[in-house]
Structure 1
Amino acid sequence: MLRTIDLRGTRPTQRELLALVPRAATDVSAALETARTLVEEVREHGEQALLAQAERLDRVRPPAIRVPESELREALAALDPGIRRAVESTIERVRAASAAQVPAPERTVLADGAVVEQRWQPVARVGLYVPGGKAVYPSSVVMNVVPAQAAGVASIALASPPQAAHGGRIHPTVAAVAALLGITEVYAMGGAGAIGAFAYGVDELGLDPVQRVTGPGNVYVAAAKRVVASVTGIDAEAGPTDILVIADDAADADFVAADLISQAEHDELAASVLVTDSEPFAARVLERLASRAAATKHRERVLAALGGAQSALVLVDDLAQAAAFANAFGPEHLEIQVRDADAVLAGIENAGAIFLGPYSPVSLGDYAAGSNHVLPTGGQARHAAGLSAATFLRPQQIVRYDERALREVAPVIAALSAEEDLPAHGEAVTARFPEG
């Protein structure tokens, strides 16, 4: 089960904490050459490379890389009504939360005739990736598409791997949700090749290059994003999921165990970490973990994840130390289940999404909270944010100065341009005032 990291009686430095945090034994750089080869194959050979990669890696040849719109409509018509209602509810909540992420334009008046305007301009075209490995992820369609739409992106393309179980077509639920959201440009392509197709375009398919690629995926998808990052924008190099729970002895041990398992069932490399200041409480959680893990559907996957180097039980002296450890870990998902959650929250700096209290489990955020579940993994929350409308927006400053306002700052420009030995900068201003 979970290995133990005992920090009680110690006060590790930030550098020491970073060395102590548990991590999965994955290295995106190790997949770079393979990803680069797959991307270059698509760049050079287009549709034929995508078909060959599908046969080799997905073990099926898609009847077509570009999914016909009729197939999307048919998938939506066949979608179970209960699933459709659930998806529509999720769309509504995520759309409302995403709309709140779009900043309003700002206008700053610095002097008479001197104005700087701030606007947030969406990229024109994006490529959204929806994985299709151990599970089907219609929720990831919602989490990618809705923020892009809220940001005002005009052209949205979506890719998901062809499925052998569905004759080389994308999963019908993914197709249905794409149709429900009005997305008609959908491709049956997966992995690094799909990322390369988005970045460079594929003429035969009418697939134009995109300005930003987003969405989760395996290590080869993450590596491919790194490969194309100089060509197109990316959201993050997503890896195996992780959850860190800060809990004290007031928490419900069974709730905590259930939440740790909920993320462990994603992948054998998923990280489940409990940080607590109560050893008796930790023992209760371990007991519930053993019981729940034995009974869950994906128990082999769960047990592999819980027993991996990336998962741990961390014992601390107090909740301040718990927050410090969480900040060093930089969790994708952080749960705080303690008597005074807001007090602990005040000490948190680094997390993809934060879930407060016993009735805000991570699985709520995966589906129905309204928050986005495409989040930075592998400690990237220490420097990166989750997917949002802002992912698809670029801040742009618009400068409006009239003659009088420019004349007032001309001495400032002259002084600084002279100091930097860039006299033509100053001359570009004085040329406008030949009378001196």
Structure 2
Amino acid sequence: MHDAAPQSIDLLIEAAHVVPVEPHAVVLDDHAVAVHRGVIVAVLPIAEARQRFAPTETVSRPQSALLPGLVNAHTHNPMTLLRGIADDLPLKVWLQEHIWPIEGAVIGPEFVADGVTLALAEMIRGGTTCVNENYFFPDVQAAVYKRHGFRARVGLPVIDFPTAWASSDDEYFERAGEVHDQWRDDPLISMAFAPHAPYTVNDANFERVRMLADQLDLPVHLHLHETAQEVQQSIDEHGQRPIARLDRLGLVNDRLIAVHMTQLTDAEIHLCAERGVSVVHCPESNLKLASGFCPACALERAGVNIAIGTDGVASNNDLDMFGETRTAAILAKAVANDAAGFDAFTALRAATLGGAKAVGFGDRIGSIEPGKQADLICVDLSPIETQPLHHVVSQLVYATGRHQVGDVWIAGQPKLQSRTLVGFDLDAITANARQWRARIATLRNGA
């Protein structure tokens, strides 16, 4: 009896360690991942893979860990162009006296496209392969993500005042419908409703969002319980806390992507668990704006799906998911007063599969399993900063820097090869960022 002929595939990635995320807390040493037509077809020992497959291309990384691409579950990526513009201020002052006036002067399709392009280069170099985006001009964002073959859930904005994107309630919803229709069947780009926050969206608009989200089966992505002030304002104006108000309006369900969640009672934590709400933890933004602490350990123990997001660069000030995941893990322990809480495997899961589930992509990305999309990253663990290697996932969460990401694939397509970006002109992106700096400086000085 002869062995079957090797199966032809597009790509075989061999690594010292494969961290599949699902099953939980597993590291597979000297394993390979076989990819064909953008899909993972097998995860198996290297020796076996070499016998079973005849790949068009083999990428061998004998000192690297291969893991799912990181999912940045909450960003405002066009705001990369505002990095560091109004630092060291509380949320309300930062937003109302600095960010909104500057945005009012510069926002438009060009600002959005250039900001997303700058963000994409930074994210890919840091191992992020999917984003949950929340900003104006979603049509422009979607086109830029698509052009670079990047996976995104793009928010359709709803807010109670006129902006460059829409001038009335009806126009926000009309434009949302048009953009959703345009991208309805795309393999990489999907939409979500993105009502800004409880303090900027009225009951009638929330009810419209709920009705349309139900009809179109779309997630609802919003800032919720971000600060104590937001909660108090809701009690004063509506007689109830923001999440209770959303519950009254029918929005607390498994479509809700609740971002920040720093002010939570035990009952609210259990409500989220019961209803299948996903919580996106943005620790560095919350720390920097002194907004409060998300009780990540308590949420996780209650069974709530937790994802990790960087928030916008204007309040972070980077799109570094390795840094964010480390901060999330360390902060969770301090808040819970429990050194064993939110361990390395749990943190890495939140940054990958937790994010994928939160944005409604859990069936296609977030773990290295046959049948899922090949959104994968190789992380070089050979530098002295991650030696000696006692525990792969501990090193990834507590010691690894984003500069150690060597290779990135999205749907099997290379986006970073040996630290070199594919399809980006870094000099042009840098020059463009500089001209935006000059334009914004002129506007601010003239104001």
TM-score, structure 2 as length reference: 0.26
TM-score, structure 1 as length reference: 0.26
Write 1 or 2 for the structure with the bigger share of strand: 2
